A and B are shown apart, each in its own frame.
Chain A
Amino acid sequence: MNTLLAVIIGALTVYLVYTLYARRIDRYVIQSDPQRATPATLYMDGVDFMPTNKNILFGYHFKSIAAAGPIVGAIVAAALWGWLPALIWLVLGVSFIGWASDYSGIVISVRNDGNSLSGVAHRLVSPRSRTILFMFIFFYLLVGSSGFVSIMASVMESQPRTHFGIIVLTAMGLLLGQMLYRWRTGLVGATALTVGLTFAAILSGPLTEGIFTGFNTALNNLTGGAPLITYFDPTAAGFKGADAQMMPSLLFWALAIGAFCYAGSVLPIWRMAQPVVYVAFWVSATAIVLGLLGAALASFVKPEVAQFVIPAFKGWNPQVGPSGIMPLWPMLFVTIACGAISGWHALFGSVGTARQIENESDMLPVGGGAMLCEFLLGLLALLSVAVGSKGAPVAAFATGLGGFISVFGVPIQYATSLAFAAFIVIVLVVTQLLFRVMRVTLSEWLGEVVPPIKSQHVSSLICVGLAIVVVLTGTWIYIWQLLGGANQLMAALALLLVTVWLASVGKNWLYAGLPALFMYVTTVCSLFVTAYNLYVNVYQVNAAAGRVAPVVGSALLMAIAMLLVVAAVFIGYDGVRAFMRYRKRPMVTPTAAPARA
């Protein structure tokens, strides 16, 4: 297997799914009507509801949904089960579930006056489903932010060449915000300056590596080289499990990331979060575009970086830790989330993109098209790790992506530096946003009961503190799979809601109902498996050794897993009842669609 063949499979998947399946659903089931007025045209207020050109919206929606998910998921799955199961799930997932979820999230909002998924759930399913969704989102965000902080701290500790680039990226983000919103500099000039300097800093990573290696060593010498925490890590020693140590340098980088996210959470959006995301976009987009082109060209130009080197299939139930289980079903289906299907996409599509859809015929290219592009991002991550030789999964990914970029003549050490930086940059900006939304969610949820939580500083500190506690478990792989479980469960709930809506308006619900059932059963089972693994591989082993931090963290994660299951059972029960009700007696169809002016 080589990268060219995989790229051809990816391109064919996108073409066939879009033309043979998605268009039929759009035409014959949803019956999108270009003459029907959309909420953007009906309720235009110049801010939330604003008709927007479909190509602009496509770029905007794709940028909004593309993040670290497809990259980390593919890396972990390839390391656990091999590249073949990961590739098959990416292709089948996006073909039959992923695009349908993203597209339907937009459709349901457009056909329901621009209401978000929770608003539609409140009306169609039950009032309590909205409240449960609320709690669900908070824990989803907590697990997500913890997983990303954990991964990033490990990578930053082990890759000092990335530090200078990240520091300059932050500074350039702040500068860009100042230039655009205060000094009124033009976007092109400000972009050229800030992005140019960031690239220069990233590419000079190998030159500054020695300085930061010395810095990490100095930090570790503060304790005389002794670890702060020792814990059992079931993923260490080639997934056999071994004692791992948390050194002061790792804690420092975890806290530094926490401080970065705290600042991103409490500062005005234009001051930090938005411009940092913008600068980061150029870094990651450059690496991704060069990587995709490089993957396609490598077979002709540099065949040695185009051959897959990891096994195609490693087993149905690879051993992780002393007694853990990792069955391909259901765990693969939650390990790879965003490249195949993601619940967050549907949620975002319903509150953001749907209100800017100018014409119903734009719903498919924007929602389905962006998800199919996201699939290509997941495919690139899989290819990178598949050709990336040995080593830790993230290092293998960066080596592979660096190899693709080197096809264009960039020296391999600089190309790898860019790939590492792109990975960290994507994860970093996502984590910052996760904390920001988590802070808002916490304030809204508990602010009335505990008034101090209304303070953005208090709620941000609580969120960062909770995430650090979870990170202390040291088992990033379970945090990640818990995040995948929560994310996919949200996708299942979104599809369930779409199914209920389709039944309520008397349409064929199978294209959403069958994926909803599959994802619901799969994700609930995966949450049980993750809780079991946490218990036998982390809780029991560390409790026997008398280690408090990982025991507390794993107990917290198990509790979160069970809470998510309970929330899913409640929403599922209400959803099925609503579905049965509407199947017997569909709602009265509203009067004819308003004609477009």
Chain B
Amino acid sequence: MERTLSRLIARRWASVREAVAHFVYGLTGFEFARHAVEMRHELEVVFMVVTFGDLVGVPILPPVYSLWLLPHVVPEVATWKRHLARRKDFWEKEEYDLHGL
């Protein structure tokens, strides 16, 4: 009985600690992580358009290097096309900058 109770308390304590850690991360480091992802994504978009632009209607004759790269980018193709095709409102482009208003 005692052991069960102490286990329960320990589990609760661990989940509270995890929740607080996540909350603090959301307040602090998460924005940097998001921005880093955004910066990487921008570079990836340029790379994808240059190499596989024909997938979204940009007339590019794929060189042999594109074919070599194809297996590596296949997992990204669906999300990349979806991202490019989505209409964005003007403030969404600066969505990050809206923080703190």
CA separation between A278 and B31, bound complex, in Å? 9
In contact, A436 and B31 (Cβ under 8 angstroms): no
Please provide the chain A residues from 18 to 69 with a CB less than 8 Å away from any CB of chain B in the complex: 43-48, 50, 53, 55-67
* B89 CB within 8 Å of chain A: yes
A64 B29 Cβ-Cβ under 8 A: no
Stretch of B1-9, B17-25, B66-74 with 4 or more beta carbons under 8 angstroms from chain A:
B17-25
**Chain B residues, CB < 8 A from A310:** none
Given contacts A46-B37, A59-B24, contact A430 B30 (CB under 8 A): no
Task: Check if B101 is an interface residue, CB within 8 A of chain A.
Answer: yes
Cα–Cα, bound, A369→B98 (Å): 20
Closest approach, in angstroms, between the C-beta of A82 and any C-beta of chain B?
A: 28
Select A351's contact among B22, B24, B31, B92, beta carbons within 8 Å: B92
Quick check: B26 and A59 within 8 Å, CB to CB? yes
**CB-based contact A64/B23 at 8 Å:** no
* A118-B30 contact given A45-B83, A56-B22, A67-B101, CB 8 Å threshold: no
* Chain B residues within 8 Å of A462, by CB: none
Bits for A79-121, please: 1 = Cβ < 8 Å to B, else 0: 0000000000000000000000000000000000000101100
How far is it, in angstroms, between the C-alpha of A45 and the C-alpha of B37 when the chains are bound?
11
Task: State the Cβ distance, A566 to closest chain B Cβ, in Å.
Answer: 22
Tell me which residues from 240 to 261 in chain A have a Cβ below 8 Å from any Cβ of chain B.
none
Which bracket fits the contact residues of A? 35 or more
Chain A residues within 8 Å of B32, by CB: 180, 187, 274, 278
Give how many B residues have a beta carbon under 8 Å from the other chain's beta carbons. Answer: 38
* A116 with B92, Cβ < 8 A, contacts A60-B31, A64-B98, A348-B101 known: yes
Cβ of B28: which chain A residues have Cβ within 8 Å of it? Answer: 59, 187, 191, 278, 281
**Counting CB contacts under 8 A, is A429 at the interface?**
yes
Closest chain B residue, CB of each to CB of A118? B89
Residues B27 and A48 in contact, CB atoms below 8 Å apart: no
Cβ of A433 < 8 Å from any Cβ of B? yes
Q: Which of B19, B23, B41, B98 contacts A47 (CB 8 A)?
A: B41
Tell me if A's interface is mostly helix, strand, loop or mixed: helix
Q: Which residues of B contact A62 (CB under 8 A)?
A: 26-27
Contacts of A285 in B (CB 8 A): 27
Chain B residues, CB < 8 A from A48: 83, 86, 92, 95
Chain B residues whose C-beta falls within 8 Å of the C-beta of A66 in the assembled complex: 100
Interface 9-mer from A154-162, A318-326, A437-445, A466-474: A437-445
Could you tell me the distance between the alpha carbons of A134 and B90 in the complex, rounded to whole angstroms? 9
Q: Does A437 contact B91, Cβ atoms closer than 8 Å? A: yes
CA distance in complex: A180, B35 (Å): 12
Bound Cα distance A429, B31 (Å): 15
- Whether A46 pairs with B79 at a CB distance below 8 angstroms is yes
Q: Which residues of B contact A45 (CB under 8 A)?
A: 79-80, 82-83
Contact A47 B100 (CB under 8 A): no
Residues of A within 8 A of B29 (CB): 187
Measuring CB to CB, which residues of chain B are less than 8 angstroms from any residue of chain A?
Answer: 18-20, 22-32, 35, 37-39, 41, 79-80, 82-83, 86-87, 89-101
List 25 interface pairs A-B (beta carbons < 8 Å), by A numbering: A45-B80, A46-B37, A47-B41, A47-B83, A48-B86, A50-B37, A55-B20, A55-B22, A56-B25, A59-B22, A59-B23, A60-B26, A60-B27, A63-B31, A116-B89, A116-B91, A144-B101, A180-B32, A270-B35, A277-B100, A281-B27, A352-B98, A433-B100, A436-B94, A441-B91
Q: Nearest 9 A-B pairs (CB), nearest first? A: A59-B26, A55-B22, A56-B26, A59-B27, A444-B90, A60-B26, A59-B23, A45-B79, A45-B83
